[in-house]
Amino acid sequence: MVAQVIDGKAFAAKVRAQVADQVAKLKEENGITPGLAVVLVGEDPASQVYVRSKGKQTVEVGMNSYEHKLDVDTSEDDLLALIDKLNNDPAVHGILVQLPLPKHLNEDLVINSIDPAKDVDGFHISNVGLLGTGQKSMVPCTPLGCLMMLRDHHGSLSGMDAVVIGRSNIVGKPMAQLLLGDSCTVTIAHSRTKDLPDVVRRADIVVAAVGRPEMVPGDWIKEGATVIDVGINRIERDGKNKLVGDVDYASAAERAGAITPVPGGVGPMTIACLLANTLTACCRANSLPEPEGLTA
Ligand code: NAD
């Protein structure tokens, strides 16, 4: 079997176009422009790239982008004061604090100071609890993107065996909750899982979120399974820098029914889902119907 490639770049463009349409409608019919505030503390180069990209895409879909760049030695009190201001600003519908934060700042405290209704990253403890109990919440962007691609490919996921490799709070755990919410039978595998190959071989859906280059070889993949590769790993091969996922793409693509490439799979979906979440937050704040197909 040669796998169908799930094109995350094209899918993300479609999501952004849907968001842009809805934003235009909101402006025209309700006079409301969704706004996303992004807070960056310090000068981590990767974070600067992400923040720039988020700001650019926010503006491209017609939303307002508010960037707050703070010095690396900003105090916790000053950061909390800014978040409080954004929580109370009616023009701001989504707030994202770029992680990781400098070591002297308590990430949990900072994230949990964001108004849960504006927590477009879905990391606030209230949103984690709401998702875990199957209630309406803000859903972390990367797992939401994976879910959208899976629904698009399969329609219903009900009854499918899904294995999520990785149990992080930002990818693995929320991904498992979302799959459970769509009535999959879910296994969460991690670094202590016994016989990981055997666990993965049972799966109709494999989501790999580990951060180890090409650790899942093709012969772990059940014939016809759908493989979602969240991993982003920079490696050097043949003297060149290369991005690879957690799955060995070449061998997995020979057995899978469908697979996301790296790059161009899950990656582009993350910011598209951030924009979708900001739109959702804006609609909820204004008691308007939520955009269809853009939420969990
Ligand atoms: P993390 O380091 O927080 O978690 C990794 C998880 O993998 C842990 O739960 C650990 O138990 C598990 N693990 C480690 N070694 C293992 C092994 N040998 N076998 C099975 N499980 C093992 O990482 P994360 O933040 O969840 O990110 C995972 C990957 O996804 C990284 O490559 C990251 O760059 C990528 N990522 C991509 C996006 C995106 O937008 N595409 C977003 C977030 C993370």
CATH code at position 85: 3.40.50.10860
| pLDDT at 165 (0 to 100) | 98
CA atoms within 13 A on the CB side of 228: 34
Q: Please tell me the residue having the least CA distance from ligand 1 atom 12.
A: 166
Q: How far apart are CA 73 and CA 91, in angstroms?
A: 28
- Contact call for residues 50 and 93 (beta carbons, < 8 A): no
Q: Please tell me the residue having the least CA distance from ligand 1 atom 3.
A: 168
| pLDDT at 1 (0 to 100) | 76
| 3-class state of residue 32 by DSSP | coil
| pLDDT at 3 (0 to 100) | 96
Give tens-digit pLDDT for 115-169.
999 999 999 999 999 999 999 999 999 999 999 999 999 999 999 999 999 999 9
Is 54 a member of any domain? yes
Q: What residues pair up with 36 in beta bridges, in sequence order?
A: 65, 94
Query: Do 201 and 171 have their domain in common?
Result: yes
Is 163 a member of any domain? yes
The total domain count for the chain is 2
| pLDDT at 63 (0 to 100) | 98
Query: Do 254 and 209 have their domain in common?
Result: yes
Query: Do 154 and 86 have their domain in common?
Result: no
Full strand arrangement of the beta sheet holding 64-70? 64-70, 35-41, 94-97
Query: Do 102 and 152 have their domain in common?
Result: no
Nearest ligand 1 atom to the CA of 172 is 26
Q: Which residues are catalytic?
A: 54, 98, 121
| pLDDT at 67 (0 to 100) | 98
Query: Do 146 and 260 have their domain in common?
Result: yes
What domain range includes position 88?
Answer: 31-119
| 3-class state of residue 174 by DSSP | helix
What is the 174 CA–ligand 1 centroid distance (Å)? 13
Q: Token pair of 191, please? A: 């670094």
| pLDDT at 185 (0 to 100) | 98
Q: What is the pTM of this model?
A: 0.98
Q: Measuring from each residue's beta carbon to the nearest atom of ligand 1, which residues come in under 6 Å?
A: 142, 165-168, 170-172, 189-191, 193, 196, 209-212, 230-233, 266-267, 270
What is the 167 CA–ligand 1 centroid distance (Å)? 8
What is the 192 CA–ligand 1 centroid distance (Å)? 14
Q: Please tell me the residue having the least CA distance from ligand 1 atom 4.
A: 168
Q: Please tell me the residue having the least CA distance from ligand 1 atom 17.
A: 191
Ligand 1 mutation target, pool 168, 170, 200, most atoms within 8 A of CB:
168
Q: Which residues of the chain have pLDDT under 50?
A: none
Q: How far apart are CA 175 and CA 146, in angstroms?
A: 8
